[in-house]
Amino acid sequence: MIDYARYDRVRAVAFDADRLRLLDQRRLPFEQTFLECRTADAVAQAIADLVVRGAPAIGIAAAWAVVLAGLSLGTASVAQARLALEPVLERLHAARPTAVNLAWALARMRGALAHAGEDWQARVRAEAEAIEREDLAANRRMGELGAARIAPGSGVLTHCNTGSLATAGFGTALGVIRAGVAQGRIARVFATETRPWMQGARLTVWEMREDGIDATLIADSAAAHLMGTGQVQWVIVGADRITARGDVANKIGTLQLAIAARHFGVKFMVVAPWSTVDLATASGADIPIEERDPAELLGHAGRRTVAEGVRAFNPVFDVTPAALIDAIVTERGVLLAPFDIALREASAAA
């Protein structure tokens, strides 16, 4: 039995009456500051600015943003609400195009509104609550399923941040790591810095420390050396989109970890809720890859560190082919190759 009170202490998204409180992840680990959003546009901007990040957390925040937009409509009829909220849904969707959880959550909110009567305010709020509640339950189940595949005494490496900060709680890949540590299966935890936003250095190791888990930070470029010296048996990552073929879009740098893992015989696990699965997208070649401002690579903390005139290329995600993945863990079970068949069967069973 996992002690969730010990291993699940952080919450990044909290709805409170007429506002959404977002733990500002740009300021961690040195400041724990909450940004209060009272409008859907403010939430959309917070998503774009990485105040809130991580595919599941983005979807949850967007769902609550629809609730905020609904509150601003007061006593509008359901027909008026559907008309007024559609542009809000579109603006939220445009905030981060790669993470399919965002589109999934907004589709659920649109569906709740479509089936609502004059109780539409209560219906959209209930749907947002359900999205958040279901994500937490899914994370805890995935944690136990994924940890069960890890041999006692193993070392694991994770990339980016996939914990409570990126979800409703407990986390996806970090949920597996939390469960594995709690069960005595994981003996060593390593986290990459995850450039250029340093989510591993700023967020992941901070989360692990909050839970009393000893995690070691490495430079992104040290990962292959770590695998080659036998200190890691599993690479465990999250996902922003999983295609029908089993190709996975995740934080930039994931692909090179998967290539190194295959070379050194290290197992590679992807952990994500079913809301991340996009069976309408055939393969990784069809995933839109978000590019952010090159300035993120040209400076640090608002100060330029690169010579003037230097250009930068700043894709935020890359795609790991299904052939490099050993297991995909969702709340519906542990999926193994061939992933196209496993994903179809899991979808049909549900």
Residues 214, 234, 224, CA angle at the centre, nearest 5°?
90
Task: Give me the pLDDT at residue 300, please.
Answer: 80
- The residue among 73, 107, 137 that closes a domain is 137
Residues 125 and 201 in one domain: no
DSSP notation for 104-144: HHHHHHHHHHHT--TTHHHHHHHHHHHHHHHHHHHHHHHHH
**Residue 69 corresponds to which tokens in the numbers above?**
């937009």
Residues 169 and 265 in one domain: yes
Identity of the residue numbered 254: T
Residue-range definition of the domain harbouring residue 275:
139-349
pLDDT in tens, the chain (350 residues): 788 888 888 899 999 989 999 999 999 999 999 999 999 999 999 999 999 998 899 999 999 999 999 999 999 999 999 999 999 999 999 998 777 889 999 999 999 999 999 999 999 999 999 999 999 999 999 999 999 999 999 999 999 999 999 999 999 999 999 999 999 999 999 999 999 989 999 999 999 999 999 999 999 999 999 999 999 999 999 999 999 999 999 999 999 999 999 999 999 999 999 989 999 999 999 999 989 999 999 988 778 999 999 999 999 999 999 999 999 999 999 999 999 999 999 999 87
CATH number for position 27: 1.20.120.420
Residues 150 and 105 in one domain: no
- The residue among 119, 137, 155 that closes a domain is 137
Number of domains in the chain: 2
Residues 110 and 206 in one domain: no
CATH number for position 200: 3.40.50.10470
Task: Give me the pLDDT at residue 70, please.
Answer: 96
Instruction: Give the CA count within 13 Å in the CB-facing half-sphere of 24.
Output: 12
- The residue among 114, 137, 160 that closes a domain is 137
The alpha carbon dihedral of 256, 262, 267, 270 has a sign of: positive
Residues 340 and 318 in one domain: yes
pTM: 0.91
Task: Give me the pLDDT at residue 350, please.
Answer: 77
Active site members = 240
Residues 62 and 36 in one domain: yes
Identity of the residue numbered 184: G
Rounded Cα distance between 127 and 110, Å, is 10
What's the Cα-to-Cα distance from 78 to each of 51, 75, 124, 256, rounded to whole Å? 32, 9, 11, 49
Where does residue 246 fall: left (phi above 0), alpha (psi -120 to 50 degrees), or beta otherwise?
Answer: left
Residues 144 and 121 in one domain: no
